[in-house]
Structure 1
């Protein structure tokens, strides 16, 4: 199960998420999303758990939980939709 986690503190790392989700079951992967220009966290992440029941338990327990003064938002991640290429013909160089 792929889980979306938002409202993270800027200093949170992949290992911190691993520690946070580990009590609920086997964590397959954790990825804090980093801004490519600044190198700082963008405040959200994705956690993948091996079992749907473990993932749902983690969501139920961690959604709204206060971590370092912020309430986490934890939900099932939505599938990424492919954006069609649009040619902007009005663009001028």
Structure 2
């Protein structure tokens, strides 16, 4: 119910200011109100799950902190996700940590978005000889 009230107030405020509802702003606000999962970019390669959780635990209960690793090398890909038990904690962490230094790097923090699925296997373009680049 609180979410609906916040959303209604946002719509009323937008309409009173310019007479129309900006759809992109409205969708972003909905996502912000309903998300407790943050995307953390620009991580140092030395950052692991534990140090990521430690960095964000001051804003609330962290239910999961995950640094994404490369499949082949096992090395950090430089980004991760932090999930909080409440939306308020996530919002506070985003406001406080975006642009701050963590392990020697300035990190970017934003609300995580749902990843779209890939529509099939990766394809390779043909070269002039017609082979697929596999050396056959």
Q: Same fold (TM over 0.5)?
A: yes
Instruction: Classify 1:87/1:33 alpha carbon distance in 2 versus 1 (closer, same or farther; 3 Å).
Output: closer
Give the total of aligned pairs: 93
- Which structure would you say has the larger RCO, counting Cα contacts within 8 Å and 6 or more residues apart? 1
Q: Give the Cα–Cα distance (whole angstroms) in 1 for the partners of residues 104 and 122 of structure 2.
A: 44
Give the equivalent residue in structure 1 for 2:50: 15
Is residue 2:60 matched to residue 1:25? yes
Give the equivalent residue in structure 2 for 1:53: 88
Give the equivalent residue in structure 1 for 2:72: 37
Q: Give the Cα–Cα distance (whole angstroms) in 2 for the partners of residues 19 and 87 of structure 1.
A: 37
- Report the alpha carbon displacement of residue 81 of structure 1 after superposing the two structures with TM: 1.2
Structure with the largest fraction of strand: 1
Q: Highest CA radius of gyration, 1 or 2?
A: 2
TM-score (norm 1): 0.88
- Report the alpha carbon displacement of residue 85 of structure 1 after superposing the two structures with TM: 2.3
Provide runs of 4+ in structure 1 moved above 6 Å.
none
RMSD (CA atoms): 2.0
Give the equivalent residue in structure 2 for 1:4: 39
Structure with the largest fraction of helix: 2
Structure 2 residue runs without a partner (length 5+): 1-35, 127-131
User: Given the alignment, which residue of 88, 101, 105 partners 1:70?
Assistant: 105
Q: Give the Cα–Cα distance (whole angstroms) in 1 for the partners of residues 101 and 66 of structure 2.
A: 20
Structure 1 residue runs without a partner (length 5+): none
